Structure 1
Amino acid sequence: MAIELNPLHTLSNYAEQYGVDKRLRLFDIFTPKTAGDIATHIHQDLEFKNAYVDDGEFKLISTEDLQALGTQKQQALTQRIYKQASEGVGFLYSKSDIYDNPTDFTLSQQVWQWLNSKAVLEGIRAMTGIDDINGANAQATRYYPGHFLTRHNDVNDKDNRRVAYVLNFTPKWHPDWGGLLQFYHDNGNPKDTWVPIFNSLALFDVTHPHAVSYVAPFARHPRLAITGWFTAKK
């Protein structure tokens, strides 16, 4: 099974639009069938771990190991994570890293190959005016009720991040469920909000402060995406 793109978009054509605020949203990236197949693949086939911050350290734990902690320790961990979040620090969500693997023909690997294709990288360079972009990394993310990502920017000199991206694959999402990509002014005041619309692509400069709002307990589906950064690899 090969991914099929909607031929509508040529990234270099969006340079003027992106240049207004170094942000851009595009819709209907893949054909509807391909987008639906990717959503199913992310949710059913990938192995996720729970990512969070605890006492200032990034942690990853499998669902099995989390359950093995027992109810009391799980609750204590959640309370610590939420306490840090109340102070504007941290995150909690599920992730599955996607790496280059030429022998892997799964849909997530094909998305990675598309992101790193000559056409996409040339288009991103032309659109953003950032000439040293030469690759992209990727992770699948899955937000369940209680998950969140507090306000931050994506500047990371070690990884040479240049432009962040979010490919949304949740077939049905209601804004009241949370999980919204919220942008902020530098002073912390909200700027605007992007709903995770199915089969859309969000692109933004890594200097933009942003967050993913808390997913409500009544959200009916997990929030699915492939996210990462276009980078200047050394």
Structure 2
Amino acid sequence: MSDLIRLNPKLDARDYAGEFRRDGVVQVFDFLTPDSADRIEAALKTATPWGLSLSDAQGRGEWLSPPMLQSLGRDGVAAKARVALEAARTGFGFSYLAYPIIEALVNGRDPGHPTHALVELLNSPEARDFCAAVAGETGITKIDAQATLFRPGDFLTLHNDTGVGERRAAYTIGLTRDWRTDWGGQLLFHNEAGDITRGLRPQFNVLTLFKAPQWHSVAPVAPYAGAPRLSITGWLRDDPPVG
């Protein structure tokens, strides 16, 4: 594992497990060492081949790689964006820039990218056991990850992650500095009626861990937002071994 990306050595799962057990969500500030968070932020801002993640008419996800975006052209991408908006209007929909870290790592793309070292860290006993202990989950076998960038107008509508594999808890690692609350982009939690029970603004070097399934969404980013909303997102899984 690369030593360029490191976990804050002062973290103790016992400081957070009670809040997670009570509320189903907890935030861990200063999750990574400062240098580690800075490296990942810099890579996301300047050295990441972002693609477009959006929903189709049935609310299923599609990731358009940079070559695919170029091949589709402006009109083709706009047509797909309209489909995602219609899906959001009537059900589940989303649109934001994404970088599939696991896929890139497995396929040997973008060697040396700091997010690859982050995935290795998250799946080390140190970080995986910390997250599992906070969530009160035993048998976590892996933590997956993607990088996301929400631009003005990007969104992720209400959903609860049911029926999508062995996901035991969800997480985000916020890498967004100096975000104004009125720029939108909050991680929102909802009750069964759809009312918002809690909203968390984008922040920097903060792990947000929350139970799954649980109703949540990301508020659309305002058209006047002055910066991108950057984060790493994924799930704690206990997928059974293959074979």
Structure 2: distance between partners of 1:12 and 1:210: 25
CA shift digits 1:52-102 (9 cap, x unpaired): 11211422223554455455554443333222212232100111111256x
Deviation at 1:167, TM superposition (A): 0.3
Partner residue of 1:218 out of 221, 224, 231: 224
* Percentage identity across paired residues of the two chains: 33
Contact 2:167 2:237 in 1 (8 A): yes
- Whether 1:77 and 2:80 are equivalent positions in the alignment is yes
How does 1:93-132 map onto structure 2 within 5 Å?
93-99=96-102, 100=105, 104-132=111-139
CA shift digits 1:160-201 (9 cap, x unpaired): 111101001112211111111000002211111001111111
**CA, structure 1 residues 48+156, in 2 after alignment: closer, same or farther (shift >3 Å)?**
farther
CA shift digits 1:173-230 (9 cap, x unpaired): 1111111100000221111100111111100011110001111111111111111001
**Structure 2 length normalisation: TM-score?**
0.87
Structure 2: distance between partners of 1:80 and 1:134: 36
How does 1:129-208 map onto structure 2 within 5 Å?
129-158=136-165, 160-208=166-214
Question: Which residue of structure 1 lines up, in the alignment, with residue 90 of structure 2?
Answer: 87
Aligned residues: 233
Partner residue of 1:15 out of 14, 17, 26: 17
Name the SS of the counterpart of 1:9 in structure 2.
coil
- Whether 1:60 and 2:63 are equivalent positions in the alignment is yes
CA RMSD of aligned residues (A): 2.2
**CA, structure 1 residues 114+12, in 2 after alignment: closer, same or farther (shift >3 Å)?**
farther
**CA, structure 1 residues 23+98, in 2 after alignment: closer, same or farther (shift >3 Å)?**
same
CA shift digits 1:99-139 (9 cap, x unpaired): 256x8443211211111111222223322222121210010
Structure 2: distance between partners of 1:139 and 1:157: 16
Give 5+ residue unaligned stretches, structure 2. none
**Structure 1 length normalisation: TM-score?**
0.90
Structure 2: distance between partners of 1:3 and 1:75: 37
Give 5+ residue unaligned stretches, structure 1. none
Name the SS of the counterpart of 2:27 in structure 1.
strand
